[in-house]
Amino acid sequence: MSMLANLAGMGLALYVLVAGAAWLGQRYLMYVPNPTRVSPAAAGLAGVEEQVLAAPDGARLVAWRAQAAPGKPTILYLHGNAGNLAGRADRFQRYQRRGFGLMMLSWRSYGGSTGRPTESNNIADAILAFDVLVASGVKPEELVVYGESLGSGVAIQLAGKRPVGAVVLDAPYTSIVDVAVLSYPYLPVRPLLLDRYESDRHIGKVNAPVLILHGERDSVIPVRMGRALYELVQGEKKLVLFPEGGHVDLDSYGAVDVVTRWITETLERAPGGRAGNPGAGGTAAR
């Protein structure tokens, strides 16, 4: 009996040790930056400038910026939890070729940006990028916030705090807590997670039209989370599912064309050229 008690005690101690290590290192598990700073030209992009934004707390944020063609909107692109801007150069170029203006913000510790990423820092930095774009002459109603994976939670909270023309959510989640539970079902993540990105709590504050893209074969963020978030959108909305799509490959199945068409139609349809909230309801497509 004492042997069983000893084994149980050792097992409990090991579990507490693992849970404690996971709690202490949770942000290292959540954020996987590539710190390499690559210029737009080195990434093969023409007509794109690097812009460094100064955060109030002293952090320096690297961003790539391309001006919009006349009459075209600007996309504020908020990327996912891994890599750097250079790894998204192809996507940047595809939207640039369609005449969209773009600002792609590099999170803290990613791609030359300083500081450490946290939920509060990322949201504050996204708001800063938005304010910089507006100060440079981009009208809020012509500004589209695009959130990729982790960035989708930031995009939702930004759009709940600032007026934007439209919101695109690429592989969004209901909350990072829900994602973490799937990845670490043996750990007490719900009470212990620091950066929670509770999109399901914030999506109701978004007054702009929302497009949700999700791959039905997404093994990182299951498509049911995209569907659940779609149901929580209060205003104009559209859900586009890609039957063969995974987590980061939707462009291979026509996502850029879907987004381009939706943004164009949505902003043109908005009264006075402004993307508003024409009321509940929406469409779901495959």
User: Tens-digit pLDDT profile for the chain (286 aa)?
Assistant: 576 655 555 555 555 554 555 555 567 779 999 999 999 999 999 999 999 999 999 999 999 999 999 999 999 999 999 999 999 999 999 999 999 999 999 999 999 999 999 999 999 999 999 999 999 999 999 999 999 999 999 999 999 999 999 999 999 999 999 999 998 887 888 888 999 999 999 999 999 999 999 999 999 999 999 999 999 999 999 999 999 999 999 999 999 999 999 999 999 887 655 433 333 344 555 4
Mean pLDDT for all residues in the chain: 90
User: What pLDDT is attached to residue 137?
Assistant: 97
pLDDT at residue number 28: 77
Give pLDDT, residue 270: 74
Place of tokens 């579990």: 15
Q: In the prediction, which pLDDT does 24 show?
A: 55
Q: What is the predicted pLDDT for the residue at 220? A: 96
> Distance (Å, rounded) from C-alpha 151 to C-alpha 22?
22
Q: Tell me, what's the pLDDT at 273? A: 55
**Closest to 159 measured CA to CA, from 132, 130, 133:** 130
- Residue-range domains of the chain with CATH: 31-285 (3.40.50.1820)
pLDDT of residue 21: 55
Give the CA count within 13 Å in the CB-facing half-sphere of 215: 19
pTM of the model: 0.89
What pLDDT was estimated at residue 104? 98
Length of the chain: 286
Distances (CA, A) of 11 to 3, 15, 181, 187: 12, 6, 21, 14
